[in-house]
Amino acid sequence: MRRGKKYIESAKLIDRAVQYEVEDAFELMSKFGKAKFDETVELHIKLGVDSRHADQQVRGAVVLPHGTGKTVRVAVFAKGDKAKEAEEAGADVVGAEDLLARIQGENFFDFDVVVATPDMMGVVGRLGKVLGPKGLMPNPKAGTVTMDVAKAISDLKAGKIEYRLDKTNIIHCPIGKVSFGKEKLCENFNTLVGAVIKAKPAAAKGTYIRSCVVTSTMGPGIKVSVAKMLG
């Protein structure tokens, strides 16, 4: 893959043999060549578990103290009073069978997260084949299947993110924008890593967190040490 001049120059600032302390990593990132847009900062955590086993799954959700810098559009499957509650809480789309029909018939996906009340999961389940591959299926562990739709919407708008393992046992999550600066990015990083540490499955053996890498959209990856957090 060909890399741009800014990427190559930024990569020269990194010592690949070093695991940087989190503050140093974001200090280094601030020195990278700037893109013409506010780049997203992502955290990639490789875990020493096997996601093929149900008792080694790592999945949950956490509210980042400074959000992700992205405006989150929330769709809610609810009826009656809960639908009204969702609208008043600021949901972007609210519906039931009518929302199901829009998604199926119009390929409507103008939302980033789906919340559903438990009684609506029978309806939402019919969308499993389209919501599942997009990572949009509501899940109780992520707090997106709930009767408290107002709190779910409030948390999501405030910066709640879901983390989950991919097939290669890596968690990929946005933790902010380059413009946030070192302190806010550090706080978001520590919040997410802390949540992942707490979510360690009892069946996990050996080294739990194999590596942590932070990247910006156009920049190279920086290895980060989490030894202090692991104790």
Q: In CATH, which superfamily holds the domain spanning 74-158?
A: Ribosomal protein L1/L10, domain II (3.40.50.790)
- First CA to last CA across the chain, in angstroms? 38
Strand ranges inside the chain, DSSP E: 40-47, 59-63, 74-77, 93-95, 113-116, 160-164, 170-177, 209-216, 222-223
Could you read off the pLDDT of 73-121 as tens digits, one per residue? 999 999 999 999 999 999 999 999 999 999 999 999 999 999 999 999 9
What pLDDT does 66 receive?
95
DSSP label at 165?
B
Rounded average pLDDT over 143-153: 95
Q: What sign does the CA torsion over 13, 19, 21, 22 have?
A: positive
**How does residue 229 score in pLDDT terms, banded at 50, 70 and 90?**
confident
pLDDT at 231 over 90: no
Per-chain mean pLDDT for the chain = 93
What's the pLDDT score for residue 168?
94
Determine the average pLDDT of the residues in 33-51: 93
Query: Which pLDDT value is given to residue 64?
Result: 95
Quote the percentage of the chain above a pLDDT of 70: 99
Domain ranges of the chain: 5-67+160-230, 74-158
Cross-strand partners of 189: none
Strand residues in 64-208 grouped as ranges (E): 74-77, 93-95, 113-116, 160-164, 170-177
Instruction: Enter the CATH code of domain 5-67+160-230.
Output: 3.30.190.20
- In this predicted structure, what is the pLDDT of residue 75? 97
Measure the CA–CA gap between 79 and 211, rounded to whole angstroms. 44
Location of structure tokens 């967190």:
209
Q: Identify the band that residue 1 occupies on the pLDDT scale cut at 50, 70 and 90.
A: low
Q: What average pLDDT does the segment 134-160 reach?
A: 93
**Mean pLDDT over residues 56-80, rounded?**
93
**Residue 41's beta-bridge partner residues?**
176, 216
Query: Among 20-24, 50-54, 181-185, which is the least confidently predicted range?
Result: 50-54
